Chains A and B, each alone.
Chain A
Amino acid sequence: MTRPTTLAALLTKELRLRLRRERTIWVMITYLLVMGLLGTLYISRSGGYNSASVSSLGTGLYALLVFVQLFLIMFITPAFTSTSINGEKERQTFDLLLCSRLSAFSLITGKLIAGLANALLLIAASVPLFSLVFFFGGVGPDQVLMATLIFIVTAILVGTFGLFCSTLLKRPAVSTAMAYMFCVIWVITPWLLSALLQLNAPFGGGPRANLLFIGNPILALLSTISFGGPSIGTSYPLFGINLAPWQTYIMVNLLLTVVLVFLSMWLVKPDPIGRLSRRMEKRPAKKKATATV
């Protein structure tokens, strides 16, 4: 009974504090304005309704919006979570949380959900903008759904990494910078390596080369868009089933998220190294005792 109460209390407090800040509403307004303006600009540059192929206009607009959305998610989400834990330490409230019945699980998941709530709110607020592409055609609802799933998974992973950084590093500025660095490295590295090693991945460079892109958000998004032909990107065989890049992307990144959540849970309680060494000491002792019996 304690865990739901503590988690609910933490969530309520976090959401109260976050939504009371004036910054929250300005972020949302700016977010939607950027996306809306870029979309409008694209339509006007393409000749609007006089365009020769309205459906290709729809596909182009959709492609622009999804990549802008991806960029904005990676740009904004770390800011919501990368100061969650060390921010409490800086505010000198962290010890008070540790002295409460808040478990490591509740603390980490509560902070993560509260941070992600803002990011998910932005994604939800942008859905009406995406619906505009249906006027032009060329994009199906299933594609929008797949892209939304990718956005959600991306927000969760980036948010979790930000949270992990905030448990690991003392200074909020450093943890925020680290979270952004992760985003850049995560997105760019596969493309750079592929170019440097001339692997020609992910467009037919062979299964090993394609593994580089298994968790890459750009390829995952490209695989959901059909520019008048077959979807871009290779497929990944798993247990006899060929998975599309967006499917492997979701699986790999959710797995990585779980690992990061567990690491954060371990790090958030006092003396993580001491606890680890004590646990390691206990194991041989237990084994010895079992052997004696």
Chain B
Amino acid sequence: MIKIQHVSKHYRKVDALNDLSLEIAPGSIYGLIGPNGAGKTTLIRILAALLTPSSGEVWFDNEEVGKTPTLIQRKVGYMPDFFGVYPDLTSVEYLEFFAGIHGIARKKQASTVKDLLELVDLTTKGDALVESLSRGMKQRLCLARALVHDPEVLLLDEPASGLDPRARVELRELLRTLQAMGKTIIISSHILLELAEMCTDIAIMQAGRLVVSGEVEQVTRRLGGGRQLEIRVLEGVPETVQVLKDVPGISNVISENGDLLQADFIGDDRALHGVLALLINRGIPVVSFAPRSSGGRLEEVFMSITEGSSPS
């Protein structure tokens, strides 16, 4: 369990983080979302012990960051929002170097590097100079580098930034594999839909403050992201539209293809059951009633709570 307790980071004129508290469960993929200046990178750098918070504490299980000398070096793999490569080294030499500076004995380095190259699907590029790799390959190499000492926690700052769609899909698959291996992954991104698909939990940040955090579904619902309802009726579409429009939490009711209705819904499962019960009680012949969570809604939620500022 990672506990971030009342962490603030102040610079001379800027409050990068303001009394931020979070709890991150082991094995989760935790997404940090926010526009430029929200404090995502500052938070990740504090977690990596590259920045000292002005106040507050960060705990990894029962060890406090900054007080336990090798805590971060043992438990955390950090991947910044830039590549950080030595272009004149080959992929194998690059990984061997990082294995060495993480204290992995020389005898074990070769097998560790081989396993990592297999994991990130770069086995054929082992002897290639890092500068000759594509952007996506470099990103995967950097992920392998962050994993070189088999850390429990991975801190990934904007890992998908600048990648083409194929490379993004590959990265997402890789992160799922890592989650299956039991790693806790903290990831910041501005690609909201991707985070919604990939993360188990998210925290939305704005101007150094935490706006909301929790499981993706929960956050989406709590902030009015809601779900989209698809209702098919045998007959009486206009009446159904009228009934739905009067229900609190339902908006944007539209009818498509004659008997199919779509509407945005905000509320929990109990409220959803209430909608279905109301339709039945009014004698509307409901054929299907399908609530779907909508990733697209998350983006709207994000835009509204970050006051229209562009995503970072």
Residues of chain B at interface, number, CB under 8 A: 32
Contact (Cβ within 8 A) A9 B100: yes
Q: Is A242 an interface residue (CB 8 A)?
A: no
- Asked whether A290 is an interface residue with its Cβ less than 8 Å from the other chain, the reply is no
The complex places the Cα of A20 from the Cα of B100 at a distance, in Å, of 20
- CB neighbours of A98 from chain B (8 A): 50
- Whether the Cβ atoms of B80 and A95 lie closer than 8 Å is yes
Check B51 for interface membership: any CB of A closer than 8 A: yes
Contact partner, B52, options A12, A13, A100, A274, Cβ 8 Å: A274
Interface contact A16-B101, CB-CB below 8 Å: no
**CA of A5 to CA of B82, assembled, Å:** 27
Residues of B within 8 A of A1 (CB): 103, 105
**Inter-chain contact B50/A5, CB cutoff 8 Å:** no
Q: State the Cβ distance, B77 to closest chain A Cβ, in Å.
A: 8
* B30 contacts across to A, CB distance below 8 A: none
Q: Is the beta-carbon distance between B88 and A100 smaller than 8 angstroms?
A: no
Q: Are B93 and A96 in contact (CB under 8 A)?
A: no
Let me know if A13 and B80 touch, CB within 8 A. no
A16-B82 contact given A9-B99, A99-B73, CB 8 Å threshold:
no
Return the CB mask of B213-242 against A: 1 if under 8 Å, else 0. 000000000000000000000000000000
Q: Which of A8, A20, A21, A93 contacts B84 (CB 8 A)?
A: A93
**A95 to B101 alpha-carbon distance, docked (Å):** 13
Q: Chain B contacts of A30 at CB under 8 A?
A: none
A91 CA to B145 CA in the complex, in Å? 16
Contact A92 B101 (CB under 8 A): no
**Contact, CB under 8 Å: B103 / A6:** yes
Closest residue of chain B to A98 (Cβ to Cβ) is B50
Which of the listed residues A10, A91, A99 has the most CB atoms from chain B within 10 Å of its own CB?
Answer: A99
B78 touches A95 (CB 8 A): yes
A144 to B105, CA, bound (A): 42
Task: Judge if B60 is at the interface, Cβ distance under 8 Å.
Answer: no
A270 at the interface (CB under 8 A from B): yes
Interface residue? B167 (CB, 8 A): no
Please indicate the chain A residues that have their CB under 8 angstroms from the CB of B145 in the complex: 96
B98 touching A100 by the CB < 8 A rule? yes
Contact B84 A101 (CB under 8 A): no
| Contact yes or no, A101 B78, CB < 8 A | no
- A233 → chain B, closest Cβ, in Å? 46
Contacts of B105 in A (CB 8 A): 1, 5
> How far, in Å, is A267 (CB) from chain B's closest CB?
16
Residue ID in chain A nearest B90 by CB atoms:
A16
Chain A residues within 8 Å of B166, by CB: none
Across the interface, name the chain A residue whose C-beta is closest to B83: A92
- Docked-complex contact B72 and A96, CB < 8 angstroms: no
Residue-wise, chain A 1-44 has the 8 Å CB interface mask toward B (1 for contact) of 11001101110110011001100000000000000000000000
Q: Which residues of A contact B93 (CB under 8 A)?
A: 13, 16
A-B pairs with beta carbons under 8 Å apart, 29 shown: A5-B103, A5-B104, A6-B102, A9-B97, A9-B99, A10-B97, A10-B100, A10-B101, A13-B89, A13-B93, A13-B97, A16-B93, A17-B88, A17-B89, A91-B86, A92-B84, A93-B84, A93-B86, A95-B48, A95-B80, A96-B80, A96-B145, A97-B101, A99-B48, A99-B72, A101-B73, A101-B103, A270-B51, A271-B52
Q: A2-B103, A6-B101, A96-B78 are in contact. List 8 more A-B contacts (CB 8 A).
A: A5-B106, A13-B86, A13-B97, A95-B50, A99-B48, A99-B49, A99-B50, A101-B103
A-B interface, 3 closest residue pairs, ranked by CB to CB distance from nearest: A9-B100, A2-B103, A100-B101
